[in-house]
């Protein structure tokens, strides 16, 4: 029986991989979903998920919350992975799928730095990490949006950045800060030399989404398709097993920002995403309307952008305290 189960599990996981790639989910989502599905199967003694149901799914999610003490967002990610397994792979349309309760994540205000704090943080970064962090604050980009930038996505003349396949698979345009034009040009000169060296060594083909490499043979080696922030070394693509130069890993940027936060003596728990929050808040402080900020951030609903009105440096709802009136 154990042999049968060990054969079934890999076959099932291959089906999950195939369905995820068919839907063009990111490699991160693929890895996270596979990990949760494997943990779910192991939790119930390697039984096939077809032999499990609502009770087991709820038991597993409860175990994560009570025994694992995971955050609500983590529990919801596990739930999404299991619902994907049952709906998309096993084709289960049982009513219990819709009745599993979503863990309620606490509604917290985003951490926002003052302009002085942003300056102190950025001044303690250097090289590529400095450039990436400046883009996060100067253009309001998410960290993966900046790392996935291609050379052709930067328009220096109009000072624009095209963000492809942002959250929700949406494209949008944001600004290229004038202060970053010269540093970015110098950076691109350096990585163009690196790309030329890769080509001479028989490499230089970058990853292209949606099978564009089959539609446009040779495009993967074109300069325009190269990552703006390539990794310092070649690596093997986990999906295709092709050796190529991927983009910088986000963990490296996160570590650099964390260290810069410590070096600057900041007490706020700043992360790369904090710079995006600060971008939005400082624009609203500068008098830009909420719709403009919504468009630059790529929010589908203005209600998401409205949260930044609650963290403006004007006290509660912009009201002047009566205590200040006494002075």
Chain segment 104-141, per-residue pLDDT in tens: 666 778 899 999 999 999 999 999 999 999 999 999 99
Q: Do 261 and 138 form a contact (C-beta atoms < 8 A)?
A: no
The catalytically annotated residue of 86, 137, 207, 308 is 308
Q: Write down the pLDDT at residue 28.
A: 85
Same domain, 34 and 135: no
Same domain, 293 and 191: yes
The catalytically annotated residue of 142, 148, 195, 244 is 142
Total domains in the fold of the chain:
2
Same domain, 78 and 184: no
Same domain, 174 and 303: yes
**Would you say residue 106 lies in a domain?**
no
pLDDT < 70 positions in the chain? 1-10, 93-106, 168, 210-211, 213, 312-325, 327
Locate all alpha helices (DSSP H) within the chain, ordered by sequence: 2-22, 27-43, 54-66, 72-84, 96-99, 115-122, 127-139, 143-147, 181-200, 212-215, 250-263, 272-285, 290-297, 302-306, 322-326
Question: Residue 270 is encoded by which pair of tokens?
Answer: 């700043």
Q: What is the CATH number of the domain that holds 46?
A: 1.10.150.130
Domain end call among 46, 75, 99: 99
**Would you say residue 37 lies in a domain?**
yes
The catalytically annotated residue of 48, 167, 172, 258 is 167
Same domain, 133 and 200: yes
Same domain, 170 and 93: no
Catalytic residue status for 273: yes
The catalytically annotated residue of 79, 148, 247, 299 is 299
pTM: 0.77
Q: Do 213 and 220 form a contact (C-beta atoms < 8 A)?
A: yes
Catalytic residue status for 46: no
Q: Write down the pLDDT at residue 312.
A: 67
Same domain, 128 and 92: no
Catalytic residue status for 299: yes
Q: Write down the pLDDT at residue 320.
A: 60
Domain housing 226: 115-310
Same domain, 289 and 175: yes
Q: Write down the pLDDT at residue 94.
A: 62
**Would you say residue 177 lies in a domain?**
yes
Catalytic residue status for 19: no
Q: Write down the pLDDT at residue 4.
A: 43
The catalytically annotated residue of 38, 63, 187, 273 is 273
Rounded to whole angstroms, how far apart are CA atoms 1 and 4?
Answer: 5
The catalytically annotated residue of 124, 148, 247, 276 is 276
Rounded to whole angstroms, how far apart are CA atoms 160 and 194?
Answer: 25
Q: Do 208 and 180 form a contact (C-beta atoms < 8 A)?
A: no
Catalytic residue status for 310: no
Catalytic residue status for 167: yes
Domain end call among 42, 69, 99: 99
Q: Write down the pLDDT at residue 202.
A: 92
Q: Write down the pLDDT at residue 99.
A: 63
Q: Write down the pLDDT at residue 100.
A: 62
């Amino acid at each position: 029986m154990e042999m049968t189960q060990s054969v079934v599990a890999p076959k099932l996981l291959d089906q999950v991989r195939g369905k995820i790639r068919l839907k063009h989910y990111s490699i991160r989502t693929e890895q996270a979903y596979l990990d949760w599905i494997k943990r779910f199967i192991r939790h119930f003694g390697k039984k096939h998920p077809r032999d499990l149901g609502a009770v087991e799914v709820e038991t597993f999610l409860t175990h994560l919350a009570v025994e694992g003490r995971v955050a609500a967002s983590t529990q919801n990610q596990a739930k999404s992975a299991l619902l994907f397994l049952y709906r998309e792979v096993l084709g289960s349309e049982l009513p219990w799928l819709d009745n599993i309760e979503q863990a309620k994540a606490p509604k917290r205000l985003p951490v926002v730095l003052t302009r002085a704090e942003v300056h102190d943080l950025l001044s303690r970064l250097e090289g590529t990490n400095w450039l990436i962090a400046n883009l996060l604050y100067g253009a309001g980009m998410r960290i993966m949006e900046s790392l996935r930038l291609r050379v052709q996505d930067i328009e220096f003349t109009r000072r624009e950045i095209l963000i492809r396949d942002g959250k929700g698979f949406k494209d949008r345009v944001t600004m290229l800060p004038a202060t970053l034009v010269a540093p970015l040009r110098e950076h691109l000169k350096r990585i163009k030399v690196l790309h030329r060296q890769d080509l001479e060594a028989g490499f230089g083909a970058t990853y292209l989404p949606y099978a564009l490499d089959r539609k446009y043979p040779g495009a993967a080696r074109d300069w325009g398709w190269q990552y703006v922030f390539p990794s310092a070394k070649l690596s093997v693509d986990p999906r295709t097993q092709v050796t190529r130069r991927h983009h910088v890993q986000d963990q490296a940027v996160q570590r650099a920002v964390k260290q810069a936060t410590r070096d600057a003596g900041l007490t706020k728990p700043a992360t790369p995403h904090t710079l995006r929050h600060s971008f939005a808040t400082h624009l609203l402080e500068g008098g830009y309307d909420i719709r403009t900020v919504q468009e630059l951030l790529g929010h589908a609903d203005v209600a998401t952008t409205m949260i930044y009105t609650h963290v403006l440096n004007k006290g509660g709802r912009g009201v002047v305290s009566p205590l200040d009136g006494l002075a």
